[in-house]
Amino acid sequence: MASSSHDRAVLHNGVQMPWVGLGVYKAEDGDEVIQAIKWAIDAGYRSIDTASLYENEAGVGQAIAESHVPREELFITTKVWNTDQGYERTLEAFNASLERLGLDYVDLYLVHWPVPEMYKETWKALEKIYNDGRAKAIGVSNFKKHHLEDLIADAEIKPMVNQVEYHPRLTQEDLLSYCKEKGIQLEAWRPLLKGEIFEEPTLVELAEKYNKSVAQIILRWDLQNGVVTIPKSVTKNRIEENIDIFDFELTNKDMSRISALNQDKRNGADPDDPEFYKQFD
Ligand code: NAD
């Protein structure tokens, strides 16, 4: 289990991935995202999670270029958006992302959503990008077990990561154990439920018990479950707080109390909802 911010998860191809990264969804391109990343790097983050959808890859790239940290220490993730899926379009979208980021490789490239009828062709493009050495690892996002099974049946390369909505209201225990069994690293998006769970009495009680914030309790629960986590903030003290989770350990009983808050309740779209994909037709 991660015991310092320098510890990394080891993906099935041997690539190391920080346990905590900075999410930058809805961080504005330009000053806002650049400043957030600089604060994050100063606080010890080495991993940044963006996507072409977020329209801030240029700012992410600028922050990386201006950072004092060598490129090889950083772990940069971006994703192919739904309207860019398919083999050729994904290759083009990847080139455009690299250009905006000002990089010659990313650490992790993800299929953002399992767009029906499309994701297998998209995956072939990711395999090519990986084989060409332009992504150190490739993975998927919002894939349920059936999507993973379907993909793996035809894939040359098994995804190294699956980034999914994951928090105490959506603990996805079956998916987590399936991914562990297959050597696919689970990564939590919206880990803090955008703060909407901060008043939950069990979490407030545990925060008092461990003398930590509710955000820190939740993020620590991610780590102890073996889940990589990418909380978002553009506020300096919150960015610092969200990575300050390596100096305490939740007991097994407290881990179970948090997991018992599960309601199988999504905040974002259900990856099987056809209505969600219709907007991209
Ligand atoms: P989140 O759960 O990380 O919540 C972020 C919000 O919580 C912040 O805007 C802030 O209001 C609050 N917050 C953060 N730290 C806090 C603290 N210490 N104290 C009090 N409030 C705090 O939500 P998110 O941004 O949706 O998810 C995190 C990241 O996951 C995104 O930025 C993005 O990188 C990724 N993501 C991926 C997908 C996907 O489909 N793959 C979808 C959504 C998000």
Q: Does the Cβ of 21 fall within 6 Å of ligand 1? A: no
* Domains recognised in the chain with CATH numbers: 8-263 (3.20.20.100)
Helix-, strand-, coil-residue percentages of the chain, each rounded to 5:
45, 15, 40
Tokens 């971006």 -> residue: 78
Q: Does the Cβ of 189 fall within 6 Å of ligand 1? A: yes
Give 32-57 pLDDT, tens digit per residue.
999 999 999 999 999 999 999 999 99
> For residue 188, how far is its CA from the centre of ligand 1 (angstroms)?
10
Q: What is the DSSP letter of 44?
A: T
The rounded distance, in Å, linking the Cα atoms of 47 and 74 is 6
Q: Does the Cβ of 124 fall within 6 Å of ligand 1? A: no
Can you give the length of the chain in residues? Answer: 281
Q: Residue 24 CA: which ligand 1 atom is closest? A: 32
Catalytic residues: 54
Among 229, 202, 198, 227, CA closest to 214 = 198
Q: Is the dihedral of CA 8, 33, 91, 125 positive or negative?
A: positive
The rounded distance, in Å, linking the Cα atoms of 45 and 72 is 13
In angstroms, how far is CA 69 from the centroid of its own chain?
21
Phi, psi (5° rounding) for residue 78?
-140, 175
The rounded distance, in Å, linking the Cα atoms of 180 and 222 is 14
Q: Does the Cβ of 238 fall within 6 Å of ligand 1? A: yes
Side chain identity at residue 19, one-letter code: W
The rounded distance, in Å, linking the Cα atoms of 236 and 239 is 5
Q: Tell me the pairing of strands 161-165 and 185-189.
A: parallel
Q: Does the Cβ of 195 fall within 6 Å of ligand 1? A: yes
Residue-by-residue pLDDT tens, the chain, 281 positions:
567 777 899 999 999 999 999 999 999 999 999 999 999 999 999 999 999 999 999 999 999 999 999 999 999 999 999 999 999 999 999 999 999 999 999 999 999 999 999 999 999 999 999 999 999 999 999 999 999 999 999 999 999 999 999 999 999 999 999 999 999 999 999 999 999 999 999 999 999 999 999 999 999 999 999 999 999 999 999 999 999 999 999 999 999 999 999 999 999 999 999 999 988 76
- Tokens, residue 156: 């040359």
CB 258 within 8 A of CB 206: yes
Tokens 């803090």 -> residue: 192
Q: Residue 216 CA: which ligand 1 atom is closest? A: 18
Alpha carbon nearest to ligand 1 atom 18, residue: 238
Q: Does the Cβ of 53 fall within 6 Å of ligand 1? A: no
Cross-strand bridge partners of residue 139:
110
Residue 181 CB coordination number (10 Å): 8
Alpha carbon nearest to ligand 1 atom 11, residue: 194
Q: What is the CA radius of gyration of the chain?
A: 18
Query: In the prediction, which pLDDT does 1 show?
Result: 58
> For residue 12, how far is its CA from the centre of ligand 1 (angstroms)?
26
* Rounded alpha-carbon distances, angstroms, from residue 178 to 169, 185, 186, 195, 236: 19, 10, 10, 28, 36
Cross-strand bridge partners of residue 137:
108
Query: In the prediction, which pLDDT does 278 show?
Result: 87
Give 80-108 pLDDT, tens digit per residue.
999 999 999 999 999 999 999 999 999 99
Q: Where are the beta strands (DSSP E) in the chain?
A: 8-10, 16-18, 22-23, 47-49, 75-80, 106-111, 135-141, 161-165, 185-189, 228-229
**Ligand 1 site-directed mutation target among 52, 78, 194, most atoms within 8 Å of CB:** 194
